[in-house]
Structure 1
Amino acid sequence: MQNAHAMKLTAPPALQRGAMRITLLGGVGEIGRNMSVFEYEGKLLVVDCGVLFPEETQPGIDVILPDFTSIRHRLADIVAVVLTHGHEDHIGGVPYLLRERADIPIIGSELTLAFITSKLKEHRIHPTTVRVEAGGTHQAGPFGLEFAAVNHSIPDGLAVVIRTGAGLVLNTGDFKMDQFPLDDRITDLRAFGRFGEEGVDLFMVDSTNAEVPGFTTSERDLTPAIDTVFATAPKRVIVSSFASHVHRIQQVLDASHRHGRKVAFVGRSMVRNMGIAHDLGYLQIPRGLVVDFKKLGSMADDKVTIICTGSQGEPMAALSRIANGEHQIRLNVGDTVLLASSLIPGNENAIYGIINKLTDLGANVVHKGNAKVHVSGHASAGELVYCYNILKPRNVLPIHGEAKHLHANAALAVRTGVDPDRVIIARDGSTIDLINGAAKLSGQVVADLVFVDGDTVGHATEDTLADRRRLSESGIVTVIAILEPGTNALAEPLEYITRGFVTADLALTGATDAVERALSKASTQGVDEVGKLEAVIAGAVSSYITRTHRREPVVIAIVIDA
Structure 2
Amino acid sequence: MPIQVYDPPALAPGALRVTPLGGLGEVGRNMTVFEYDGKLLIVDCGVLFPEEHQPGVDLILPDFEPIKHRLDDIVGVVLTHGHEDHIGAVPYLLRLKKDIPLIGSGLTLALVEAKLKEHRVKPFTLTVAEGQREKLGPFDLEFVAVTHSIPDALAVAIRTPAGMALATGDFKMDQLPLDGRLTDLRAFARLGEEGVDLFLVDSTNADVPGFTPLERSIGPVLDQVIGGAPRRVIVASFSSHVHRVQQVLEAAAAHGRRVALLGRSMVRNMTIAAELGYLDVPEGVLIDYKKARNLPDDKIVYMSTGSQGEPMAVLSRMANLEHEIEVGEGDTVILASSLIPGNENAVYRVINGLTKLGANVVHKGNAKVHVSGHAAAGELLYCYNIVQPRNVLPIHGEHRHLFANAQIARDSGVPAERALIVENGSVIDLVDGAAQLVGQLDLGFVYVDGSTVGEITDADLKDRRILGEEGFISVIVVVDAATGGVISGPEIHARGFAEHDKVFDSVKPKIAAALADAAQQGVRDQHALSQVVRRTTGRWVNQSLRRRPMIVPLVIEA
- Where 2:503 maps in the other structure, the secondary structure is coil
Aligned partner of 2:298 in structure 1 is: 302
* Aligned residue identity for 1:200: V
1:249-279: CA deviation from partner (whole Å, max 9, x where unpaired): 1111110110111111111111000000000
**What is the alpha-carbon distance in structure 1 between the residues aligned to residue 460 and residue 365 of structure 2?**
36
Aligned partner of 2:497 in structure 1 is: 501
Structure 1 position 219 matched with structure 2 position 215: yes
Residue correspondence of structure 1 range 114-513 to structure 2 within 5 A: 114-504=110-500, 506-513=502-509
* Aligned residue identity for 1:34: N
* Aligned residue identity for 1:462: D
Aligned partner of 2:65 in structure 1 is: 69
Q: Is the contact made by 1:501 and 1:553 (CA closer than 8 Å) also made in structure 2?
A: no
Query: How far off its partner does 1:553 sit?
Result: 1.2
Provide the alpha-carbon RMSD of the alignment. Answer: 1.3
Query: How far off its partner does 1:6 sit?
Result: 9.4
Aligned partner of 1:21 in structure 2 is: 17
Q: Is the contact made by 1:69 and 1:446 (CA closer than 8 Å) also made in structure 2?
A: no
Q: Is the contact made by 2:486 and 2:516 (CA closer than 8 Å) also made in structure 1?
A: no
1:288-323: CA deviation from partner (whole Å, max 9, x where unpaired): 111111111211000001111111011111111111
Q: Is the contact made by 1:309 and 1:317 (CA closer than 8 Å) also made in structure 2?
A: yes
Q: Is the contact made by 1:195 and 1:391 (CA closer than 8 Å) also made in structure 2?
A: yes
1:111-161: CA deviation from partner (whole Å, max 9, x where unpaired): 000000000000000000000000101111110000000000000000000
1:233-264: CA deviation from partner (whole Å, max 9, x where unpaired): 10000111111011111111110110111111
**What is the alpha-carbon distance in structure 1 between the residues aligned to residue 45 and residue 7 of structure 2?**
22
Q: Is the contact made by 1:67 and 1:446 (CA closer than 8 Å) also made in structure 2?
A: no
Aligned partner of 1:531 in structure 2 is: 527
Aligned partner of 2:52 in structure 1 is: 56
Query: How far off its partner does 1:502 sit?
Result: 2.2
Aligned partner of 2:31 in structure 1 is: 35
* Aligned residue identity for 1:514: K
Query: How far off its partner does 1:9 sit?
Result: 4.6
Q: Is the contact made by 1:261 and 1:305 (CA closer than 8 Å) also made in structure 2?
A: yes
Aligned partner of 1:556 in structure 2 is: 552
Aligned partner of 2:91 in structure 1 is: 95
**What is the alpha-carbon distance in structure 2 between the residues aligned to residue 528 and residue 94 of structure 1?**
51
1:168-205: CA deviation from partner (whole Å, max 9, x where unpaired): 00000000000011111010000000010000000000
Query: Percent identity at matched positions?
Result: 60
**Corresponding residue pairs, total:** 558
Query: How far off its partner does 1:513 sit?
Result: 3.5
* Aligned residue identity for 1:345: P
1:451-477: CA deviation from partner (whole Å, max 9, x where unpaired): 000000011111111111111111111
Q: Is the contact made by 1:477 and 1:501 (CA closer than 8 Å) also made in structure 2?
A: no
Which range moves more in the overlay, 523-532 or 7-16? 523-532
**What is the alpha-carbon distance in structure 1 between the residues aligned to residue 531 and residue 125 of structure 2?**
53
Query: How far off its partner does 1:60 sit?
Result: 0.2
* Aligned residue identity for 1:169: A
Q: Is the contact made by 2:107 and 2:276 (CA closer than 8 Å) also made in structure 1?
A: yes
TM-score (norm 2): 0.98
**What is the alpha-carbon distance in structure 1 between the residues aligned to residue 458 and residue 522 of structure 2?**
33
* Aligned residue identity for 2:101: P
**What is the alpha-carbon distance in structure 1 between the residues aligned to residue 127 and residue 427 of structure 2?**
29
1:430-460: CA deviation from partner (whole Å, max 9, x where unpaired): 1100001000011011321100000000111
Which range moves more in the overlay, 222-231 or 506-515? 506-515
Aligned counterpart in structure 1 of residue 538 of structure 2, from 539, 542, 561: 542
- Where 2:477 maps in the other structure, the secondary structure is strand
Which range moves more in the overlay, 108-117 or 500-509? 500-509
1:20-58: CA deviation from partner (whole Å, max 9, x where unpaired): 111110000000000000000000000000000000010
Query: How far off its partner does 1:223 sit?
Result: 1.3
- Where 2:516 maps in the other structure, the secondary structure is helix
